[in-house]
A and B are shown apart, each in its own frame.
Chain A
């Protein structure tokens, strides 16, 4: 079976539109759309150039080097990789549980990471669309436009992000390439001076995080027709939860719910992820398609990330965010909220929760002193699962007696959302593109749907001079009808002679 709009029945003779690469997401991605002569949408695919070579890059390295090296997988959420690798290596060494102090400092680091990543996404990458509208002037749709039109909102976004970065710095040692967490625990406490510095600002951050939730909520309330329907579809949802059902971003058991919110899997150990999840390869995509083994590929795919987490848990263990969660759940009127744009609302609820947790941890004397490391009996294999900003992140390693990694398997959050992002793009194509002449505004809607997932397309490389957008229009015979490139400064250049992007 194939999914609706995944594969056209007769692709020959259809014209092809490519959005390559998808912008304001991390790494490389491309959308291809096949249209017939009446502009009816026949096929839509999101191609993500997932970089699988990273696992080979890790294999053969000493285990103690891995938590540092994996940060180079991603320039956006390096801390999530750092901690997922450490959690796996704790198990490899038999060093579990880690000490109370180590667990709390790691948690502080992780919640700082989620906070700053979410703040960046909402205020920098998505707020231009949400505040100005999907059809707004191209020049406005960036953070600089937001700063000029809504300086107060933009400033809060920048300072929230900065605060999260400082939390990372004082726990990991540096803002990037941190070494604070090590297999078996942590190598440093938080200094009293750093704790005091963060504590001075944390109440302000809570206030601003509440403002951010209110902005996201108001956007839904002001235009429920758009926010509830845009790119909306029903799906299962997967995340970690704490053993008592609370939202937990650092550790827990796996839980999955179906589209009606009924429990499918609960209390499953993260060590058994291979019994629960299967990854399918499809010939047209570099990125795999995970699904729940028990349900199979056709109905077993699921969403991860804020939308799943906020609804998978039974409660949020911090008072202000819990009030917001209850309001979010009530929005669904007894059904789970499946709206793609509700990711933004859920994401801001999580920002509020992370700042509340950070405040509690800053008051905890365990981050300032206490044992940091434990030893154990080595077992040679471990799985580390963490709720990264974008969703469930799985690191799995085997380590030989010579300390070298013999096997590495990573399933990153964006891979879990592969089918879901394809569904979102297809839904938008059905709603807006079908039968219409393509415009920049319509194509932007495709990107808005993808951006809601905040996909991190697994590539931290960059260099000056890369083209940020390439749209090609091909006729029924495959001939190039139009080719528009967007330069790094946003200028649109029509160039039929320029080479096209990746085939697809």
Chain B
């Protein structure tokens, strides 16, 4: 059976603060129970649109160089992503692919961006990023429990 909640976290665990997404998923998974599925990947791709099928709520999680510290959370709407991205897709484009493939609106999705600073290969998670992760996990626990949406404080 499809779990009603999905946490989709991405990043490269061997590239410093890029590990924030996978580390978030790893830390939250034991606290989540059967109601939530956690998927980790290096980056978002078209097939992730199919992972949204049958969910009540979805949380995308990634490291960000540009968000405010320690993290930002916002609700997402499907959007035609006009950028020439690399192989990686944006969460809103994944939602748009869902909409076009399924012929219906995707489940409510939020993006949790955790502030990172350094993304070099072989570096461990930075001290600041580790603190940002802890703060984000607190928010993540509340998201799992209560279904936070963009109208509630991001908690930063």
Chain A residues within CB distance 8 Å of chain B: 23-27, 51, 53-54, 56-57, 69, 72, 75-76, 78, 120, 123-125, 138-139, 141-145, 147-148, 151, 154-155, 157-159, 161-162, 165, 175-177, 447, 460-466, 468-469, 486-491
Q: Contacts A124-B46, A158-B47 given: A76-B87 contact, CB under 8 Å?
A: yes
Instruction: Determine which of B85, B90, B119 lies in contact with A461 in the assembled complex, contact meaning CB atoms within 8 Å.
Output: B119
Q: Can you name 17 A-B pairs with beta carbons within 8 Å?
A: A24-B85, A24-B87, A75-B42, A76-B87, A139-B80, A142-B84, A144-B93, A145-B80, A147-B101, A148-B80, A157-B46, A158-B50, A460-B12, A463-B119, A464-B67, A468-B85, A489-B81
Query: B residues 37-89 with Cβ under 8 Å of A?
Result: 39-43, 45-47, 49-50, 62-67, 79-89
A78 to B80, CA, bound (A): 28
CB distance B12 to A465 under 8 Å?
no
Contacts of B116 in A (CB 8 A): 463
CB distance B86 to A23 under 8 Å?
yes
B97 at the interface (CB under 8 A from A): yes
Contacts of A25 in B (CB 8 A): 86-87
Chain B residues within CB distance 8 Å of chain A: 11-15, 18, 39-43, 45-47, 49-50, 62-67, 79-90, 93, 96-97, 100-101, 113, 116, 119, 121-122
User: A72-B121, A463-B18, A469-B84 are known contacts; what are 11 more A-B pairs with Cβ within 8 Å?
Assistant: A25-B87, A72-B14, A76-B87, A142-B80, A142-B85, A142-B93, A158-B46, A159-B50, A463-B63, A464-B64, A489-B82
CB distance B121 to A75 under 8 Å?
no
CB distance B100 to A144 under 8 Å?
yes
Contacts of A145 in B (CB 8 A): 80
CB distance A26 to B121 under 8 Å?
no
Closest A residue to B113 by CB, please name it. A464
Contacts of A463 in B (CB 8 A): 18, 62-66, 116, 119
CB distance A460 to B15 under 8 Å?
yes
CB distance B83 to A142 under 8 Å?
yes
A75 to B11, CA, bound (A): 9
CB distance A490 to B83 under 8 Å?
yes
Contacts of B11 in A (CB 8 A): 462
CB distance A462 to B86 under 8 Å?
yes
CB distance B122 to A53 under 8 Å?
yes
Instruction: Determine which of A141, A158, A462, A487 lies in contact with B18 in the assembled complex, contact meaning CB atoms within 8 Å.
Output: A462
